[in-house]
Amino acid sequence: MSAVDYILILLLLASLYLNWHLVQTCRSAMKARKKALRDAQRLLKRGEEAQEQAIADKRRFLEALGEAFLLIGPSGHIVLANTLARELFQEERLEGRKVGSLVCNQELLLHVQEAFDTDGPVTKEFTLSAINSPGGVQNGITAWHLDSAITDTPIREKRILLRNVTQNYLTNQMRRDFVANASHELRTPLTIIVGYLENLMEDELMEERPALARKFIGIMHQNSQRLMNIIEDMLMISKLESGHKAILKEQWFRLTSCADDVFSRLDSIREKKQAALHMDIPAEWELYGDPFYWTQILFNLVENALKQNTEPDLSVTVAASLAPDACVITVADTGVGIPAESLPFLFNRFYRVETHHSSEIKGTGLGLSIVKRAVEAHDGTITVTSVPHQKTTFTITIPLKRFRKGKEA
């Protein structure tokens, strides 16, 4: 072989080596590129998953808020809403809808639109009438608390929160009514006492007219006792409405013992009214609860029946029976009955049924309210039915877990 052949062979080998090396380099570059692409795809997927997780976490947070949430864009279109907001506006989907285009709850919508149109944060409370109150109506209205603020994002969206505060509103209203009624009830006997005290302070009255002075003292004593009764009932209802079970000294006791005690304490009124008291409760039946409050429940119901009825031959019966899932206690009388229009308000504090002899009844006006709260404190319910001039029945329903048949005496 000549030198030229050797050179050609070397050049060919070099060319083959270079081609092989180039192929290997390309393969390595391709592998590296594929790996980088796979890594990028994994990172992108992780980013998407993280974004989806963040959105899901955000939605879970919004669903757990306990308040209706709206995020509204600058154009007035809803960007985000939770389930409570959809229920509040009675719409299956709110995202993408313009606030002004919603058709339900126009009264509510007016407050939301006003908050959206206002620059800066808004905090206010308002009430809705019955026709525009979602989710059921109590006393004809619902009350709402609204908070709105502009987000810190460049888009400057409006965030609006709506919370149902009806229970707080009604509680505050009841508290105001209670204070007003209590002030009136306390002022009446106090005014009488002060008036008679002023008369007694005249020196001549005690010496010259001792019989009249004693009468005045008797009237003051009666009104002082009435004052004490009102205060005691107010304290009792306050304890019951506190919601603390600790006020109950619960134990197993016989309901007949409570009824016997009540009949004994009311015997003088029964005799004066020429009424009959009956008990239809098996002697061995026992309840789990506070016997003090159960005595008070029966006392208030039976006393109320005796005082409210002036007709002769009145009969009052305290009875107990078993239903499939409850123990039922009734207090029924055969008196004048209660007008149908008064039944919904009967357990309200200081409510009195207007009758021709209502001015003669000197109760505190809290008796039936105490009964209702005491029954509820024992996990029970109470209802009342009445047929004028025939029969009135108070029915108490107690869970079976609070009942047992004890040993016969």
Give pLDDT, residue 74: 87
In this prediction, residue 285 has a pLDDT band, given cuts at 50, 70 and 90, of very high
270 and 202 within one domain:
no
Helix (H) or strand (E) holding 383: strand 381-387
Poorest-pLDDT segment among 66-70, 231-235, 401-405: 231-235
Please give the average per-residue pLDDT across 117-135, as a whole number: 74
More confident residue, 92 or 375: 375
CATH value at residue 261? 3.30.565.10
What pLDDT score was predicted for residue 258? 92
The predicted pLDDT at position 382 comes to 94
Last residue of a domain, one of 16, 36, 57: 57
Instruction: Kindly state whether residues 208 and 111 are assigned to the same domain.
Output: no
Are 41 and 137 members of one domain? no
Mean pLDDT value of segment 125-153: 70
Helix, strand counts (H, E) of the chain = 10, 13
Of 52 and 214, more confident: 214
Identify which has the larger pLDDT, 51 or 279: 279
**Whether 176 and 137 share a structural domain:** no
Report whether pLDDT(358) > 50. Answer: no
Mean per-residue pLDDT, 225-244? 68
Per-residue pLDDT, averaged over 350-359, amounts to: 58
Is pLDDT of 356 > 50? no
* pLDDT, average across residues 297-324: 88
pLDDT one-digit tens code per residue, 246-262: 677 889 999 999 999 99
**CA geometry: angle at 67 spanning 64 and 73, to 5°?**
100
Please enumerate in sequence order all residues whose Cβ is within 8 A of that of 11, keeping only pairs 6 or more positions apart, or say none.
none
Mean pLDDT over 283-288 rounds to 92
Q: How far apart are the C-alpha atoms of 92 and 78, rounded to whole Å?
A: 13
Least confident of 119-123, 167-171, 250-254, 370-374: 167-171
As beta bridge partners, residue 332 has: 317, 393
Domain count, the chain: 4
**Long-range contact pairs involving 80-85 (C-beta distance under 8 Å, separation at least 24):** 85/162
Q: Are residues 335 and 227 in the same domain?
A: no
Residue-level pLDDT at 255: 92
User: In the prediction, which pLDDT does 206 show?
Assistant: 66
Give 93 or 174, the one with higher predicted confidence. 93
Give percent above pLDDT 90 in the chain. 16
Asked whether residue 267 falls in the same domain as residue 224, the answer is no
- Work out the percent of the chain whose per-residue pLDDT is above 70: 74
> Does residue 347 share a domain with residue 267?
yes
Residue 300 sits in the same domain as residue 348: yes
**CATH number of domain containing 145:** 3.30.450.20
E strands present in 130-260: 141-150, 158-164, 251-254
Strand-pair partners of 252: 288
229 conformational bin, left if phi > 0, alpha if psi -120 to 50, beta if neither: alpha
Closest CA to 138 of 146, 153, 127: 127
Q: What is the pLDDT of residue 144?
A: 84
Containing 295, the helix (H) or strand (E) segment is: helix 291-308
Specify the residue for token string 């907001």.
85
DSSP run (H or E) holding 265: helix 255-265
Last residue of a domain, one of 57, 76, 98: 57
Average pLDDT value for the chain: 78
Which of 37, 57, 77 terminates a domain? The answer is: 57
In whole angstroms, give the CA distance from residue 327 to residue 259: 16
pLDDT bin (cut points 50, 70, 90) of residue 180 is low
What is the model's pTM?
Answer: 0.53
27 versus 153: the higher-pLDDT residue is: 27
142: domain range? Answer: 65-164
